[in-house]
Chains A and B, each alone.
Chain A
């Protein structure tokens, strides 16, 4: 395996009496996709929120590009190039694609004494990135987000992260509210951006979405890492058993242990 771009070493995190993560380590190689799977409450969200700078771990280290880093806030993480796409928190429905794409980082040019939005550049850039990511249903960046499908929204978030120079993209349940067809498209986008050198971590409940794109699969169970598999070495029934029970003992013998 190549040297990892982003690495979490021995991370523990406790919320009150709940041990959300217990000595978990993951390593994301450059240009690869890591899928984080596990049941509800397994600790997936806590782990990615630590990598996104939302939570700070109680113990453990985070390494990024061969350096130990401290991710004190989402802004700090973003500045390093770690971008998180939250499904429900990414876009403003009442605004156009172009205005969303650049929200908080709008390009401007000076006209006399005032600094004026460079709307032409906003539209041009947003449209070219949407084309590049392979989304054909949108030809204009003028459209309001509320008129778009869930898959199109994901595509815009991913394109935006690409444009702003993300090195690592973390996707929180990117396919959970999508139709089968749309989920497939979003998986294509993920494969696409990793082919361009981006590294991605994504969380999902749906194992059938994992196998086509993940290079590494990490299984969490009650805050512990119970399995790690490279592409092609994973036996679906083993992973399923790990997710549900945290071990690979067949169900009929599990009671005897």
Chain B
């Protein structure tokens, strides 16, 4: 089943990153560093799962970064207004899901590319975030219990691993089951693989897309809540996380053209990029290196994946 292992690129990236940075700095190969990587990966990775699932069904959401920020801000404002914690979280997740659904409705009804729809909503929700905050960050001085549950608490006082990674793991398990083990998952692959064939055989492709847009929005909102919990602060300035999420998914073997991708790949892709980020910081490189480096990694991995695909194709007997 070699031809199905498109996560290979991410595994290679993780292995190379670990080798290089451990060579540069022995401290890189420790559980503490790995905990830090998982903590960074948890928030992007939660967005990546939603984005990846949506990409498998053949659509994009460029507004996840804005949704992420706006959701975290609304959650912060609700908590500051002393709205009960559970109600605040549920409200924000519902709102984030609706933001995703709105992207889906515009895309499916008007038949314009989701790239355009969500480019528009990227700006719209970013503007809303700046408007409701006046441009100022929202911060909490004392940790609320709900913030601890979402992201702030750690297994031990000095640990770099935060509880947000556990929420990411929960999301991963749920959506791994959904994609691999349910009828709905099969419809997602069919919808993205060849929309017209899936439609002709009776798959409700439009409904699949709407549901996936909603999932994508909801997970972007959840990621915002996790980061608010971990940092106890959120800035309304553009995060740029949408591109990091798409990059993580692509590095993990998710196809830009739909129909191909696994949750395992999305996780490995996120970890690959997060370990590069942590590694560069640990090696003392300025943070802008990360941005430049990620660009190279994306290109290299996609080239590797494409070449592997061609090789397998010519090997087939």
Contacts and interface: CB of A to CB of B under 8 A. Distances in A.
B181 A90 contact: no
Interface string A52-70: 0000000000000000000
Interface in A114-160: 114-117, 119, 142, 144, 146-147
Contacts of A89: 196-197, 200
A190 B180 CA distance: 34
Given A86-B200, A95-B259, A147-B316, A104 B190 contact: yes
Contacts, number: 76
B55 to A, nearest CB: 13
A89 B192 CA distance: 14
Contacts of B194: 91-94
A105 B190 CA distance: 12
Contact of B313 (A95, A99, A115, A147): A147
Contacts of A78: 202
27 contacts: A78-B202, A89-B197, A89-B200, A91-B197, A92-B189, A92-B193, A92-B197, A93-B193, A93-B194, A94-B192, A103-B190, A103-B201, A105-B202, A106-B183, A108-B182, A108-B183, A114-B177, A115-B183, A116-B177, A117-B181, A117-B182, A117-B183, A117-B185, A119-B181, A144-B3, A147-B312, A147-B313
A74 B200 CA distance: 8
A99 B189 contact: yes
A194 to B, nearest CB: 23
B168 to A, nearest CB: 20
Contacts of A211: none
A75 interface: yes
Given A116-B182, A117-B181, A92 B202 contact: no
Contacts of A144: 3-4
Given A108-B182, A114-B177, A103 B200 contact: no
Contact of A75 (B183, B187, B197, B202): B202
B203 interface: yes
A229 interface: no
Contacts of A119: 181
A165 to B, nearest CB: 14
A105 B192 CA distance: 17
Contacts of A147: 3, 312-313, 316
A95 B56 CA distance: 12
Contact of A114 (B182, B196, B198): B182
A104 B201 contact: yes
Interface in B168-222: 177, 180-183, 185-187, 189-190, 192-194, 196-198, 200-203
A74 B203 CA distance: 13
Contacts of B192: 94
B172 to A, nearest CB: 16
A99 B200 contact: no
A102 B193 contact: no
Contact of B189 (A94, A108, A114, A116): A94
Contacts of A105: 202
Question: What 7 A-B pairs are tightest by C-beta distance, nearest first?
Answer: A92-B193, A94-B259, A104-B202, A94-B193, A106-B183, A92-B194, A104-B201
A197 B316 CA distance: 35
B259 A104 contact: no
B260 interface: yes
Nearest to A140: B1
A78 B201 CA distance: 10
A117 B202 CA distance: 18
Nearest to A137: B317
Interface centre among B3, B4, B177, B190 (most CB of A within 10 A): B190
A161 to B, nearest CB: 11
B186 A106 contact: yes
Nearest to A90: B197
Interface string B268-299: 00000000000000000000000000000000
Contacts of A117: 180-183, 185-186
A94 B260 CA distance: 7
B183 A92 contact: no
Contact of B187 (A90, A104, A115, A146): A104
B1 A142 contact: yes
Interface centre among A74, A89, A92, A108 (most CB of B within 10 A): A92
A93 B313 CA distance: 13
